[in-house]
Structure 1
Amino acid sequence: MQRVCFQLQVRPDRLEEYRERHAAVWPDMLAALAASGWHNYSLFVRPDGLLIGYVEVDTTIEEAQAAMAATEVNARWQAEMGEFFVDLDGAAPDTGFVRLEEVFHLEDQLAAAAATDPTTPTTRRTEGEPA
C-alpha cells in the first residue's frame, strides 16, 4: 500500500461551497473511489483555502488515478470541482495537485526498531495504559 499526501489551493471565496460539496459526495463517486483502490482518504483545509489531502492506495497513486480516470463519474466530478482551485494550469484537481514527500511514518520506524530490538513497542497504546 502506498501513502500519498498532496496539496491544492481552494479559492477562498469558494471555500464554503467546497466544504458543502464534500459534506455530501455523490454515492457513485464514493463507490468509484473505493473500487479504484483509494482508502483512508481525507481532506483537510485551512481558512485561507490551503488544502491537504491524504490517501492510501492499493498499488501506486498513478494506477489509482488511472482507474478513476476510466470512470464516467470522475469526469463529471473533476469538471465540477476544477473551478474551486487556483494554479491548476488546465489539469484536473485529481492530477494537478502538488505531491508532498513523506519523511516520517511512526509504524514503519517502530517495525524497523522492533526488528533489531524486540523490546521496542509495536502496537498502539490502549486506554489506561501509561504513555
Structure 2
Amino acid sequence: MQRMGMLIGIAADRIAEYKALHAAVWPQVLEQLRQANVRNYTIFLREPENLLFGCWEYHGEDFEADMKRIAADPETQRWWTFCEPCQLPLQSRAEGEHWAMMEAVFHMD
C-alpha cells in the first residue's frame, strides 16, 4: 500500500459548487476509483488560501495503468467537466499533472 497526497487551488467563487459536487459523488466515479485500487480517499479544503489537499491509499501494483483506466472512463471524464472548472492547477506542478503530487515525509499509525 502506498499513501499519496496531492494539492491544487480552487476558485473562491466555485467553492460552494465544488462542495456540493463532492457531497454527492456519482456512484460510477466512486466505483472506478475502487476498481483502480484507490482507498481511503479524502479531499480537504483550506481557506482563505483556497487550496484543496487530496490524500488516498493506493493498494494496486501498477499505478500508471490504474490511473489510465480511470482517465479512460466516459463517466469519470464527464465528472471532470464539472470539477475541473472549479480547480486552479498549481504552476509548479509536474508536466502532465493536474493535481500536483506531493512527497510523503512523515506518517504515524
What's the TM-score once normalised by structure 2's chain length? 0.83
**Identity of matched residues, %:** 32
- After superposition, what is the alpha-carbon deviation per residue over 1:31-80, rounded to whole angstroms, capped at 9, x for unaligned? 11111111010000012321000011123543331120121111111122
- Alignment partner, residue 14 of structure 2: 14
Counterpart of 2:25 in structure 1: which amino acid?
Answer: V
* Structure 1 portions without partners, runs of 5+: 90-94, 108-131
Secondary structure of 1:106's partner? Answer: coil
- Alignment partner, residue 92 of structure 1: none
Deviant stretches of 4+, over 6 Å:
none
Shift of 1:22: 0.2
Q: Which has the higher contact order (CA 8 A, sep 6+)?
A: 2
- The alignment of Structure 1 onto Structure 2 pairs a total of residues equal to 102
Counterpart of 1:28 in structure 2: which amino acid?
Answer: Q
* Structure 2 portions without partners, runs of 5+: 92-96
Instruction: Please say which structure displays the higher CA radius of gyration.
Output: 1
Counterparts of 2:25 and 2:108, CA distance in 1: 31
- Alignment partner, residue 105 of structure 2: 103
Is the alpha carbon distance of 1:88 and 1:61 closer, same or farther for their aligned partners in structure 2, counting shifts above 3 Å?
farther
What's the TM-score once normalised by structure 1's chain length? 0.70
Secondary structure of 1:33's partner? Answer: helix
Counterparts of 2:61 and 2:54, CA distance in 1: 18
**Cα RMSD, aligned residues only:** 1.8
Indicate the structure with greater strand content.
2
